[in-house]
């Protein structure tokens, strides 16, 4: 991740900061409330605000609330349902924003996401405390120059919050703080696709205190939601996930643009077998996690590989969610620099993540590639981590 010559390092950092400034300017020039993910979040929070939490996953109700909010604040003539597909406790978290006007809520949400991004950068800086100052700076500027970070801010997703919870979960587990790890694990379920395989680590490690605390906390959260929204809310949520999974094209969840195995299968096999193969691969991934964590040695590298497997095998993964791969990339680099690994591999990853999306955006070529370029990087990082673990074994 660190270029060898000081001059090259300074030029790289300057180029990355220039890219970050350009991406930031696009957000500042854009509208605060547009046809993006925050529209569904605002509608979900508004449904709960109006005491209709029990109908949160009724698509007819969601259409009404989204149309009302979108019509109030946007001149864009497009409108199509963007289903609220997060768990019910995510809607509860968003309810305070629903007491603001849509445009004001979008502005507040953007500010909150920027603060979360700053928190993540701070955590990454501390994670790299043993690195040289140049390496630390380059880790932060590489994150800032990664277009997917700004895409997440621009489209109003919850990826940054899920990323933050995942980092805190990792730090708490590494420090042996079971109570804190349980809290962050349950918090991370607002983006369940990001935590599916990492959630298995306490079971694989037989950290029963953490498991019991997470189950107890999850039960309390689930019980509170059930008492407030009705016990049927979980069945409604499951049915909605199945419907969106089966007809994703109608709801903006395009399988041909998902940055993982599901996208690869979509282009290579019969559509009818895509989802069965995805869930079969996810099951195999879960078994692999238990096998991988037979030993607690090299915790960081095993955690990195678990996160990468989770991203690649997730049933649902949009472009913005690939931002999470920055954490395992940093962990893999840290392992390589301590053990004398090939750092040039990570330099290639850094250059690709920084300049490939920028080149695609500026030239306008290959618009589909603009949203799926992270796939080979995720696969490559996973391969590097797996090879390093095998070599250590």
Q: 235-268 pLDDT, tens per residue?
A: 999 999 988 887 777 777 788 889 999 999 999 9
What does R_g of the chain's alpha carbons equal in angstroms? 21
Task: Count the neighbouring beta carbons within 10 Å of the beta carbon of residue 392.
Answer: 12
Is residue 331 within 8 A of residue 303, CB to CB? The reply is yes
Q: Say if residue 105 is exposed, middle or buried (CB neighbours under 10 Å; 0-12, 13-18, 19+).
A: buried
Is residue 225 within 8 A of residue 89, CB to CB? The reply is yes
For residue 77, what are the CA distances in angstroms to 72, 135, 322? 12, 47, 30
**DSSP annotation of 273:** G
User: For residue 4, what pLDDT is reported?
Assistant: 52
Alpha helices in 98-132 (DSSP H): 102-127
Composition of the chain by helix, strand, coil, percent to 5: 80, 0, 20
Q: 178-193 pLDDT, tens per residue?
A: 999 999 999 999 999 9
User: For residue 71, what pLDDT is reported?
Assistant: 74
Task: Count the neighbouring beta carbons within 10 Å of the beta carbon of residue 246.
Answer: 9
Q: How large a percentage of the chain has pLDDT more than 90?
A: 75
Q: Of the ranges 83-87, 338-342, 387-391, which one carries the lowest mean pLDDT score?
A: 338-342
Q: Which of 196, 199, 206 is closest to 184 using CA atoms?
A: 199
Q: 147-179 pLDDT, tens per residue?
A: 999 999 998 999 999 999 999 999 999 999 999
Q: 192-221 pLDDT, tens per residue?
A: 999 999 999 999 999 999 999 999 999 999
* Phi, psi for residue 304 in degrees, rounded to 5: -60, -45
Q: Which of 273, 302, 265, 288 is closest to 393 using CA atoms?
A: 302
Judged against a pLDDT cut of 50, whether residue 391 lies above it is answered with: yes
User: For residue 32, what pLDDT is reported?
Assistant: 65
Q: Which of 299, 300, 325 is closest to 312 using CA atoms?
A: 325
User: For residue 340, what pLDDT is reported?
Assistant: 76
**DSSP annotation of 175:** T
Q: 289-328 pLDDT, tens per residue?
A: 999 998 878 999 999 999 999 999 999 999 999 999 999 9
Judged against a pLDDT cut of 50, whether residue 1 lies above it is answered with: no
Q: How far apart are the first and last CA of the chain?
A: 25
Is residue 252 within 8 A of residue 80, CB to CB? The reply is yes
Judged against a pLDDT cut of 80, whether residue 79 lies above it is answered with: no
Determine which helix (DSSP H) or strand (DSSP E) holds 238, and give its type and residue range: helix 233-246
Contacts 24+ apart (CB under 8 A), 245-250: 245/275, 245/315, 245/316, 246/275
Judged against a pLDDT cut of 70, whether residue 72 lies above it is answered with: no
* Confidence band of 2 (pLDDT split at 50, 70, 90): very low
For the chain, the average pLDDT equals 91
Q: Say if residue 116 is exposed, middle or buried (CB neighbours under 10 Å; 0-12, 13-18, 19+).
A: buried
Is residue 237 within 8 A of residue 230, CB to CB? The reply is no
* Confidence band of 90 (pLDDT split at 50, 70, 90): very high
Task: Count the neighbouring beta carbons within 10 Å of the beta carbon of residue 137.
Answer: 20
Task: Count the neighbouring beta carbons within 10 Å of the beta carbon of residue 283.
Answer: 11
* Confidence band of 75 (pLDDT split at 50, 70, 90): very low
Which residue reads 């970050």 in tokens? Answer: 20
DSSP symbols for 302-358: HHHHHHHHHHHH-S---GGGGGGGHHHHHHHHHHHHHHT--HHHHHHHHHHHHHHHH
Task: Taking residues 38-56, report their average pLDDT.
Answer: 94
Among 308-312, 354-358, 359-363, the range with the most confident prediction by mean pLDDT is: 308-312
User: For residue 3, what pLDDT is reported?
Assistant: 44
The two tokens of residue 242 are 């199945």
For residue 286, what are the CA distances in angstroms to 290, 312, 320? 7, 12, 23
């Amino acid at each position: 991740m660190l270029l060898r010559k000081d001059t090259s390092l300074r030029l790289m950092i300057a180029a990355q900061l220039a890219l970050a400034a350009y991406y930031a300017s696009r957000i500042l020039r854009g509208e605060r409330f547009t046809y993006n993910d925050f529209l569904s979040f605002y509608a979900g929070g508004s449904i709960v605000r109006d005491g209709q939490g029990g109908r949160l996953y009724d698509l007819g109700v969601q259409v009404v609330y989204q149309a009302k909010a979108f019509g109030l604040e946007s001149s864009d003539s497009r409108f199509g349902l963007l289903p609220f597909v997060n768990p019910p406790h995510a809607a509860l978290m968003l309810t305070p924003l629903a007491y603001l006007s849509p445009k004001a809520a979008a502005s507040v949400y953007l500010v909150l996401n920027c603060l979360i991004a700053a928190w993540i950068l701070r955590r990454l800086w501390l994670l790299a405390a043993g690195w040289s100052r140049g390496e630390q700076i380059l880790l932060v500027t590489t994150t800032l120059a990664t277009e997917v970070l700004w895409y997440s801010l621009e489209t109003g997703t919850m990826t940054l919050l899920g990323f933050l919870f995942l980092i805190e979960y990792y730090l708490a587990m590494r420090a042996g703080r079971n109570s804190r790890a349980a809290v962050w694990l349950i918090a991370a379920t607002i983006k369940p696709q990001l935590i599916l395989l990492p959630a298995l680590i306490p079971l694989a490690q037989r950290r029963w205190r953490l498991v019991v605390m997470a189950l107890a906390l999850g039960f309390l959260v689930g019980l509170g939601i059930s008492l407030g929204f009705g016990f049927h809310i979980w069945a409604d949520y499951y049915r909605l996930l199945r419907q969106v999974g089966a007809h994703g094209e109608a709801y903006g969840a395009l399988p041909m643009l998902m940055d993982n195995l599901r996208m690869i299968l979509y282009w290579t096999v019969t559509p009818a077998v895509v989802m069965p193969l995805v869930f079969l691969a996810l099951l195999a991934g879960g078994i692999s996690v238990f096998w991988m964590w037979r030993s607690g040695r090299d915790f960081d590298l095993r955690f990195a590989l678990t996160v990468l497997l989770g991203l690649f095998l997730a049933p649902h993964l949009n472009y913005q969610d690939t931002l999470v791969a920055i954490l395992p990339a940093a962990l893999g680099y840290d392992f390589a620099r301590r053990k004398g690994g090939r750092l040039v591999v990570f330099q290639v990853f850094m250059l690709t993540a920084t300049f490939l999306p920028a080149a695609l955006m500026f030239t306008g070529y290959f618009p589909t590639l603009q949203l799926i370029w992270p796939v080979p990087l995720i696969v490559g990082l996973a391969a590097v981590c797996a090879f390093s673990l095998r070599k250590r074994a």
